[in-house]
Amino acid sequence: MLAADVTRAVSLAHAALGSVAERDWQVPAGDLTWTCWETVEHMSDDLFAYTAQLAPSAPPISTHVPFGWQVRRDGGPALTVFVEPADGNAALLQVFEACGAMLAAIVGTVPPDRLSFHNYGASDASGFAAMGVVEVLVHTNDVAAALKFPWSPPDDLCAGALHRLFPDVAVDDPWPTLRWATGRATLPGRPRRRTWTWDGTPRR
């Protein structure tokens, strides 16, 4: 996947989330233990973290780039990127958009074969772009489930992410398949996944 895919996913999610920016984001997001606010912070943090992993000229293969992180409440996400709640949902959306732009910029800049650490396998720029797309698409779905706004990302974006990160998953209808692959839905003949990972290792 490419920088343009990251930009597209973030732009679509930003518009969808912006349509409910006046709502209360302190409610649980879908089946997560996180609030909608924390979920969007988590998306922003992932986009930033993937940027950070790719940015050094000689990235680490066995661990994360050592930015500090913290958990602000029991059960909340471990994050580096935070937004002051008093600044409101619009401020959080601005941070989300900025983090997406950073990942797109680094994906489009670094050598395509540069490898860096991820828990699910050392990955290249294409892999980190796909990870960013998946995080944005599925976590926006979590927020949409709570705040009841329509969210159905384009088939080609979903299919691209599936092919890059879930090469063993048979793709029928791309968006339902991506939701199934990430433990958020059932499919005919395929019960809901309770555990899952992706494979970020480079494709030939």
Q: Whole-model pTM? A: 0.96
> What is the per-residue DSSP string for 11-71?
HHHHHHHHTTTTS---SB-TTSSSBHHHHHHHHHHHHHHHHHHH-SSS--SSS------EE
pLDDT at 118 over 90: yes
Domain ranges of the chain: 3-181
User: In the chain, pLDDT over 70 holds for what percent of residues?
Assistant: 100
Place of tokens 């029928």: 172
Residue 169 exposed, middle or buried by CB count within 10 Å (0-12, 13-18, 19+): middle
The per-residue pLDDT for 52 is 98
The per-residue pLDDT for 203 is 85
Mean pLDDT of 151-168: 97
CATH of domain 3-181: 1.20.120
pLDDT at 133 over 80: yes
How does DSSP classify residue 184?
A: S
Largest distance between two CA atoms of the chain? 47
Question: Which residues are within 8 A (CB) of 126 and not within 5 positions of it... i.e. 6 or more apart?
Answer: 1, 2, 107, 112, 164, 202, 203
The per-residue pLDDT for 204 is 75
pLDDT at 116 over 80: yes
Q: CB of 171 within 8 A of CB of 45? A: no
Banded pLDDT at 172 (limits 50, 70, 90) = confident
Half-sphere exposure of 181 (CA within 13 A, CB side): 27
Using left for φ > 0, alpha for ψ between -120 and 50, and beta otherwise, residue 63 falls in: beta
For the chain, what is the radius of gyration of the CA atoms?
16
Which amino acid, 154? P
Q: Is residue 160 classed as helix, strand or coil in its secondary structure?
A: helix
Banded pLDDT at 108 (limits 50, 70, 90) = very high
Q: CB of 100 within 8 A of CB of 132? A: yes
CA–CA gap between residue 17 and residue 8 (Å, rounded): 14
Q: What is the mean pLDDT of the chain?
A: 96
pLDDT in tens, 22-60: 999 999 999 999 999 999 999 999 999 999 999 999 999
Q: Tokens for 173? A: 């209808």
Mean pLDDT of 97-117: 97
